[in-house]
Structure 1
Amino acid sequence: MSQAIKPYLAALIVMGVLDALWLGLVAKDFYREQIGAQMAEQIRWAPALVFYLAYPAALVALALFPAGQPVATQVARAALVGLVAYGVYDLTNAATLRQWPLKLALADTAWGTFASTAAGAAAAWVAQRFS
């Protein structure tokens, strides 16, 4: 278990920083344009905290373990986790909500894949460097 703490922290930090930049600065207006009326006026911190603590743990568990895989394999698995996790979320929303444009689903899935890949790469690097 202690073998996963440092990679988890790396994934947590990278995912948190990237998502804060993406949602807070880069794509803030994009989301508002696409689903403005559906957005909460204030961030609901409890569900956000659960996601940002749990997702990097799942990412590390699914991408890095069992240990001993090549880093390229671990990073590719992190990308796959991101594609599946964000794809399921966005495509389910596109299928069930009145206003979840395909443009948003594709952009958000691409973002989640990128952020998960970066977080997984950081975790893999830390695991390799500090194991």
Structure 2
Amino acid sequence: MNAAFKPYLAALIVMGVLDALWLGVIAKDFYREQIGAQMVEQIRWAPAAIFYFAYPAALVALALFPAGQPFSHQVARAALVGLVAYGVYDLTNLATLRHWPVRLALVDTAWGTFASMAAGAVAAWVAQKFN
């Protein structure tokens, strides 16, 4: 099995579970309060699936490879990937949308950084343990 597949699968599961809890339970009301009128009634599953399958691949590729880095470096790089990815999204929305609150941009960027760090940490652990 490819050396990247197990870490990818780990990152996919962690990001999926964390974001499901975050968006569906923990911060659901927060997002409704901040951008409720802009939210769709039903999730558009095709773009969501593209993101949730592609992002962990990018996270693993950018944070874990080349192989052999110290675990702490891999986790820090995963956090950096999250900071950049979610930061670009939120700052672009802040710059271009009329009703994108600064508070939302800060919370969402912090969340993306944390979730990416957690997914990267589990993926790095899996890579070291099973590859």
Where on the TM-score scale, by shorter chain, does this alignment land: which range? over 0.9
Question: C-alpha distance in 2, partners of 1:88/1:50?
Answer: 18
Pair 1:127 & 2:127 matched: yes
**Which runs of 5 or more structure 2 residues have no equivalent in the other structure?**
none
Matches within 5 A, 1:3-18: 3-18=3-18
**Alpha-carbon distance, 1:2 to partner:** 0.3
**Alpha-carbon distance, 1:71 to partner:** 0.5
How many residue pairs get aligned? The number is 131
What amino acid is the match of 1:21?
L
**Alpha-carbon distance, 1:12 to partner:** 0.2
Question: C-alpha distance in 1, partners of 2:72/2:99?
Answer: 37
What amino acid is the match of 1:10?
A
Residue of structure 2 in register with 1:93 after alignment: 93
**Alpha-carbon distance, 1:95 to partner:** 0.6
C-alpha offsets along residues 33-82 of structure 1, whole Å, 9 cap, x if unaligned?
00000000100000000000000000000000000000000000000000
Question: C-alpha distance in 2, partners of 1:8/1:39?
Answer: 29
**Which runs of 5 or more structure 1 residues have no equivalent in the other structure?**
none
Matches within 5 A, 1:6-85: 6-85=6-85
**Alpha-carbon distance, 1:93 to partner:** 0.1
Residue of structure 2 in register with 1:115 after alignment: 115
Q: TM-score, normalised by structure 1?
A: 0.99
Question: C-alpha distance in 1, partners of 2:11/2:122?
Answer: 6
The structure 1 segments of at least 4 consecutive aligned residues displaced by more than 3 Å after TM superposition are none
Residue of structure 1 in register with 2:106 after alignment: 106
Question: C-alpha distance in 2, partners of 1:126/1:45?
Answer: 28
Aligned residues: percent identity? Answer: 84
